[in-house]
Amino acid sequence: MKQGAERQNKDWFFKFLAAFFLGIPLLLGVMGLVGLGCHNDGNPRAISSQLMMWMLSPLWITLLGFSGFFRSSRQAWGILGGLSLFAWALFFLLRGFCL
Amino acid sequence: MKIPNMILRSYRELHSWVGIVAGLFLFVAFYAGAITMFEQPIQDWVSQTASLPPAVSLHATPELLEKTFAAHPEARKSYTVYLAPNAAHPERLSWFLPFSHGHVGQVTLAALDEKGALVTAKPQISATAHFINLLHQQVGLPFPHETSLLVTGVVGLLYGVALISGIILFLPKIAENLFAVRLTTSLRRRWLDLHNLLGIFSLPFHLVMALTAVVFAFHDPVFDVQHALFAKSNPPLALSEKIRSSSAQGRLSQKADQTKIKPSFALPLEPEKIVNSLELQAAGFVPEMLNYSQNKEGQLVLRVAGHDSRYGMRGASRGFAEIDPYSGKILSSDYLPGHQSTGFAILTTFFALHFGNFGGNFVRWGYVLLGLGGAFLFYTGNQLWINARRRREIKSGEASSATQFLDCLTAGCVNGCISGISAIFCAAFGLPHGGDYKDITSVYYGVFVLFVILAFCLKTRYRNSILLSLSALITLSIPVMASLYGHKALLSLPNITIELVAVFLGAFLLWAAGKEKKFSGRV
């Protein structure tokens, strides 16, 4: 039991790394879906482009800040990786339909 | 709210870790940022005022423009008419010539003497204020701007995580700890109470700074990703339209196209009429300058910069309006304070909250205090970590090199940053033209590195008191240098304010040095 607690305690760093590195593809994937939803055309001066950019930083910080609540680092990598793959698969699928 | 103890413990480690990694970068960013709140007055203070004849009236400006264009046809490409010349900026007109080989461009000022002949002057602008702004943006790093910004972004993320983990740690004991400042008990308690007090009561400010800093830093890469993701998702029919609209001028030139700019032989409206027409369309907006430039198609584009004290602004101290130079009609009010669509108004709020430009000088001074308070918060965080480790080490009898290293690094970086900035203020009066960017950079980093080396060489007992005294000495020489070599009126408001701030800061550093001497060795 005590050994488990010890391992759990050192685990926060890998949970944090998961949120940091998988946060990038996950949030960019989410941005992709939102962008398709509001018919963004990649013009940086458009209001939707700018709002999407502003959306990323609070989401990423929240994800990093609450990464400690994952049960284990393995769970963190699994969930975030799965969600990233799902977001990107959905993005390419939807973009294919749009084209 | 009940958070399991195990998670709380891991959050304590996370909080220390992100704090230690980001703390010193954040100290520099906040200290330099607080000074950047008054970038323009500081730049005027250290720069020499150009000697020009008094500015022509706004009514007579067309004559000045005509004579300037006759003598310097290249001025047509990019010129600015100033609507309110003052003692520090006596010019009515300036033009900008970008150097082709990637260097900074050169500004030329123009005026008319009593006989109506053209007089030009090149202003000698000190790089001090701009350097401090870049130091703030690059969290004190000397690398190329894009590289440094990536580090700034990561530091901003860690800073956000430090805030969230700090709240999670503080929440369970909020009732008993909120107003407690136990100055008398142990040194560690005192630092902890100060740290909590500062952190909780400036939390909204810190959340805003963390969120905006990350956006500012990752701005360009994110737009690149957006372009890659969405630019081709349009139906091919709209392709030509899209390429045009995403070019440099974007939406504005598209809008301008729709209103059909008159052929180039038409004369633009006189500046006076532009101002009058703007007053009718946007009452309350105080225009400060008219920036004329040519877009890619060679058409004249006019951007008016100004302020409106009732609203926050998109730029650090100004909002903008795109105007048809031939009719004076507003083409785009996306960045015009008080005339924005809801979406752009929301975005501008974020910028305004970062820049503190929404309530005149009162809010600016508030931001200076919050910024300095933030810098102190990071310093107390480092002190806490060092003191806690040292206590444990004294108990167990083993000294660790990590504690020693961070102690030296903290003292060196904090004092190096304060002294480096004070040193460039002093040097600006001795260097030619108030110091160009290269000179200012070498002075700052020279002093900074010297302090870090000193911190590692000095004995623990004297380290803090000696470094703080040195910082105080350099800071106190700012008013001395300004009085001896300054070219500005001694009794002008900016001069008095800057000197008073320097004296106050110097006195505080001396006081801290005395305190450190008394407390050194206690944990």
Distance CA(B409)–CA(B400), nearest Å, equals 15
User: SS3 of B403, please?
Assistant: helix
Nearest CB to B10; choose among A12, A36, A49: A12
- The mean pLDDT of chain A is 87
In sequence order, which residues have a C-beta less than 8 Å from that of residue A65 and are 6 or more positions away? B160, B161, B163, B164, B165, B168
**To probe the interface with B, which of A43, A56, A66 has the most B CB atoms within 10 Å?**
A43
Q: How far apart are the first and last CA of chain A?
A: 56
Question: In this predicted structure, what is the pLDDT of residue B242?
Answer: 34
Is residue A35 less than 8 Å (CB to CB) from chain B? Answer: yes
The amino acid that residue B199 corresponds to is G
Count how many Cα atoms sit within 13 Å of the Cα of residue B363 in the half-sphere of its side chain: 15
Taking only the tens place, the pLDDT of each residue in B491-509 is 788 888 999 999 999 999 9
Q: How far is A42 from chain B (nearest CA, A)?
A: 4
Q: How far apart are CA B213 and CA A57, in angstroms?
A: 9
**Residues recorded for chain A:** 99
Q: What is the pLDDT of residue B55?
A: 87
Among B222, B233, B341, the residue with its CB nearest the CB of A56 is B222
C-beta atoms of B233 and A98 within 8 A: yes
Report the C-alpha gap between B403 and B295 in whole angstroms.
Answer: 57
How far is B153 from B496, CA to CA, in rounded Å? 36
SS3 A17: helix
Enumerate residues 6+ apart whose C-beta is below 8 A from B285.
B278, B306, B307, B308, B319, B321, B336, B337, B338, B339
Q: Which residues of B touch A57 (CB under 8 A)?
A: 156, 160, 211-212, 214-215, 218
- For residue A53, the chain B residues in CB contact (below 8 A) are 215, 218-219, 222-223, 226
For residue B455, give the H/E element and its range.
Answer: helix B437-457
Q: Which residues contact B413 (CB under 8 A, 6 or more apart)?
A: B24, B27, B28, B140, B448, B451, B452
Question: Among all residues of chain B, which has the CA nearest to that of A48?
Answer: B343
Tokens encoding B506? 């110097």
ipTM here? 0.90
Residues 6+ apart with CB under 8 A from A90: A29, A33
Contact A61 B210 (CB under 8 A): yes
Q: What is the rounded distance in angstroms from the CA atom of residue B267 to the CA atom of residue B286? A: 25
Q: What is the pLDDT of residue B100?
A: 52
pLDDT for residue B519: 67
Measured CA to CA, the distance from residue B484 to residue B264 in angstroms comes to: 53
pLDDT in tens, chain B (523 residues): 577 888 888 898 899 999 989 999 999 999 999 999 999 899 888 888 878 888 888 888 999 999 999 999 888 888 999 998 888 888 899 988 876 554 566 788 999 988 888 998 888 888 899 999 999 999 999 999 999 999 999 999 999 999 999 999 888 777 666 666 666 667 777 788 888 888 888 999 999 999 999 999 998 899 999 988 888 644 443 333 333 333 333 344 444 444 444 445 567 888 999 999 998 998 889 999 999 998 888 889 999 999 988 888 888 889 999 999 998 899 988 899 888 988 899 999 999 999 998 888 899 999 999 999 999 999 999 988 888 888 888 888 887 888 889 999 999 999 999 999 999 999 998 888 888 888 999 999 999 999 999 999 998 888 999 999 999 999 999 999 988 887 666 678 888 899 999 999 999 999 999 888 776 655 4
Closest CA to B79 of B65, B90, B67, B89: B65
